[in-house]
A and B are shown apart, each in its own frame.
Chain A
Amino acid sequence: MGSAGEWSLIESDPGVFTELTKRLGATGVQVEELWSLSENAFETLRPIHGLIFLFKWVQNEEPDGPIVQDDRIQRIYFAKQVINNACATQALINLLLNCNHPDLNLGSELSQLKEFSMSFDPKMRGLTISNSDTIRKAHNSVARQALFEFDGQITTTSDEVYHYVGYMPIDGRLYELDGLREGPIDLGPIPSDKDWLDIVRPVITKRMNRYTDGEIHFNLMAFVADKKMLLERQLQELIADSDLLGMNPSEVKAEIPRIKQLIEIEESKRRRYEKEMIRRRHNYLPFIVELLKILAEEKKLMPLYEKAKTRATEKSAKKMKV
């Protein structure tokens, strides 16, 4: 389908984002959900390349730091958000293109994008992204399948449009990448003896508190290294060089199954993501219609409907009671 420039809404789900990064051509990374900012939560996810804070858009807030307008713009990939529905993809790209970790392989599409648009200003970069057919197709390929033509306007709660803000250490400083701003926001230096997560933690905590008070829904995700890749690497090292690691044979013996188990967990997570994506892309309309027919033939459709209607009426009656 090509109504030029149409970007569908996608779910804010780590499985969706992980798949999206893959479809954009990047490897070596994934997106995980973060339930807390505690050290424990981070520990299992390191190395963490960036954080994604997502929330339902709110009135213009004052930025938490000065907006970068000097020549750092040339070295920080920041693209302004141009298309609303594309906000997740744009935020991900902002993070991906600033990540210099050796494990990340951008792939040809994103590498080309970076080369091509690095010298542009933020707005032009945003336009470049939104004009990219390849990127748009990748984005749309993780969106829910429409039931039929024209239903692009029907959405459910999980498609709510969130605004995405990335946090990332770049060249020794912490930056907030918000596509609706004019540039990256400089949140200060990261002392060389400190972990960037320690610096970002209070910043995000403050924001979370602000949103909780305002009862604004938000969520936090981490942009991390591909866990399965890391674990497999660990396993290899263990098997090959256990002497070098200073471990004795019995320790190694215990460690190997543990790592294998963690790998299995990652694999089952990927299988789950895959199933969810298949379902998401599946058009259930024929199934629904066939089911309705079956129920109707067995004279079960109306009774089911009546029951559901009664439940719905009871529910709303309860609400009316003041």
Chain B
Amino acid sequence: MTSGALFGNSSSLGGSSGGNKHLVEFRAGRMTLKGRTVHPDKRKGLLYVYQGEDSLMHFCWKDRTTGDVEDDLLIFPDDCEFLRVNECTTGRVYVLKFKSSSKKYFFWLQEPKTDKDDEYCRRINEVLNNPPTSSGRGSGGGAQDGELQNILNNMSQHQLMQLFGGVGQIGGLSSLLGTMGNSNNSSSGGSTGSSVRPSSGSGANSRGGSAPRGDASRTPSRARELPAPTATPPNTATTTQPPRSGQIILADLQRYFSGLGNAPPDSEGGTGETGGTGGSGANAASGTPRVDLAAALATPESVEAASAPAAAARLAPHLPAAPPNDTSDDVRTTLLSPQFAQAASMFTTALSSGQLAPVISQFGLGPEAVAAANTGDMQAFFKAIENTTGASEGDKSNDGKDDKDKDGKPKDKDNSKQDKDGDSTMCID
């Protein structure tokens, strides 16, 4: 029922850039300097640069919710710099500084992925200081792709807050504010910025507003990112400077954050958004594109291999139970079912975050596989399985070890028990 989310290019809303294409744009919020402290403005915004008819560069900020353009600054080449504020180890805070004046504008990035942060920063500087000739349209910093927009448009305040940094990381920001408050200078050598990986919001429902049932899409997790840990992001350096006027600011911030955190119910349950168990997936941290295991296992090659009599016989005990008066799904149906796709996707997530390791050891795949599972490296994991099964074909891996799954229930009984027992087969204990 909903249209695919289209990120409102300002020109389509009419007016603010006079139909000029945005050379760079990204989601960012403002921060307001009040006296000696900087306060984040919670509103979702868009920071963009366009070249006006006058050939001058316009640096703008717009409120994404109301569409109001609140900043439209004329920039002369070589007059300004857009820099990351390194003291802030958590939120991705940037400042626009001027040579011709002491005015500073602070922003905090609202893009869910951090992988383009540096690129945006570089492009803004380039475009502001090397304006394209009027015939050119610059490096096309146009609208982001539809999927990402989908995700972002559905981000709740809580998720945006995670972008900015969870409560445990306030220390870094307050240290920043303490510093800035005193010296009015944002770049006093601090710790390196961390890359807090935000949760990706609720994931793009690429089928539009239809009930997100399994059967409508084969790879429902296509756009879903690895959930980000909130409590322990990787690379967060502890604050190097104790906050100076820190205490008061900290309290302000905490109040601000707790206000944000109250809003939506969708991320409080601790499900999905906050994959809390220390998931520092190699996948997400290095920006490796996520491999679609579900699709790989459903390719004709895989289906054929799995359906061959010997293989099918081995897989049979692990198929879902048959409903009364009907047959159970066969191997092929299973591989093509949306529920299997979801399971494969969860497997991928669990593997990439290292959570699968303890379970894997129960399956008799060998120490190499367990080690790989610990690192979350799917390639190494698969290689390890190949090595292990190659070495002792059918002997190590078919040991009685894989007859039981983690909760100790023998597998063939497991299936028929599941739908009778209410939640007794839920998360096992």
Contacts and interface: CB of A to CB of B under 8 A. Distances in A.
A193 interface: no
Given A275-B323, A309-B379, A293 B397 contact: yes
Contacts of B227: 153-154
B291 A154 contact: no
Interface stretch (B46-54, B231-239, B421-429): B421-429
A218 interface: yes
Interface string A277-316: 1111111111111111111111111101101110111011
Interface in B317-347: 317-321, 323, 326, 329, 334, 337, 339-340, 342-347
Contact of B323 (A158, A274, A297): A274
Contacts of B285: none
B339 A149 contact: no
B296 A305 contact: yes
Given A12-B211, A157-B221, A304-B302, A163 B386 contact: no
A311 to B, nearest CB: 7
A144 B209 contact: no
Interface in B155-173: 156-157
Nearest to A294: B311
Interface stretch (A71-79, A114-122, A208-216, A243-251): A208-216
B346 A312 contact: no
Interface string B124-148: 0000000000000001111001011
Given A291-B315, A296-B385, A212 B205 contact: no
A241 interface: no
Contact of A180 (B156, B265, B267, B339): B265
Contacts of B390: 296-297, 299
Contacts of A150: 277, 355, 427
B202 A148 contact: no
Interface in A127-186: 136-138, 140-141, 143-163, 180
B291 A11 contact: no
B56 interface: no
Contacts of A44: none
- Which range contains the number of B residues in contact with the other chain? 35 or more
Interface string A45-69: 0000000001011110000000000
A240 interface: no
Contacts of B394: 297
B411 A300 contact: no
Interface stretch (B179-187, B189-197, B399-407): B399-407
A224 interface: no
B426 A8 contact: yes
Nearest to A214: B153
A9 interface: yes
A62 to B, nearest CB: 16
Nearest to B405: A286
B178 interface: no
Interface in B209-252: 209-215, 220-221, 223-224, 227
Contacts of A161: 202, 265-267, 269, 271-272
A223 to B, nearest CB: 14
Given A312-B291, A313-B289, A295 B305 contact: yes
A219 B318 CA distance: 35
Nearest to A14: B211
A81 B302 CA distance: 45
Nearest to B148: A319
Given A271-B326, A322-B141, A1 B389 contact: no
B265 A217 contact: no
B424 A1 contact: yes
A295 B382 CA distance: 10
A141 B417 CA distance: 12
Contact of B350 (A154, A279, A305, A316): A154
A282 B210 contact: no
Nearest to A12: B211
Interface in B260-314: 263-272, 274-277, 289-293, 295-297, 299, 301-302, 305-306, 311, 314
A153 B276 contact: yes
Nearest to A274: B323
A312 B142 CA distance: 23
Contact of A208 (B1, B153, B266): B1
A289 to B, nearest CB: 5
Which one of A149, A274, A293, A313 has the highest number of Cβ atoms from chain B below 10 Å of its Cβ?
A: A293
Contacts of A91: none
A283 B405 contact: yes
A135 B277 CA distance: 29
Contacts of B266: 56-57, 84, 160-163
A294 B344 CA distance: 16
B418 interface: yes
Contacts of A154: 227, 272, 275, 346, 349-350
A26 B359 CA distance: 39
Contacts of B419: 141, 277-278, 281
Contact of B3 (A141, A215, A315): A215
B140 A322 contact: yes
Nearest to A141: B422
Given A147-B359, A157-B204, A217-B154, 9 more contacts: A136-B423, A141-B423, A154-B272, A212-B3, A275-B326, A276-B339, A287-B315, A288-B344, A312-B292
29 contacts: A7-B269, A8-B271, A13-B212, A58-B264, A83-B269, A141-B419, A141-B421, A141-B422, A149-B359, A149-B406, A149-B427, A153-B271, A154-B350, A156-B224, A157-B212, A158-B213, A208-B1, A216-B154, A217-B154, A217-B209, A219-B210, A277-B419, A279-B340, A282-B415, A284-B318, A287-B319, A288-B297, A293-B365, A312-B291
Interface of A: 1-3, 6-9, 11-15, 33, 54, 56-59, 81, 83-85, 87, 136-138, 140-141, 143-163, 180, 208, 211-212, 215-221, 271, 274-302, 304-305, 307-309, 311-313, 315-316, 319, 322
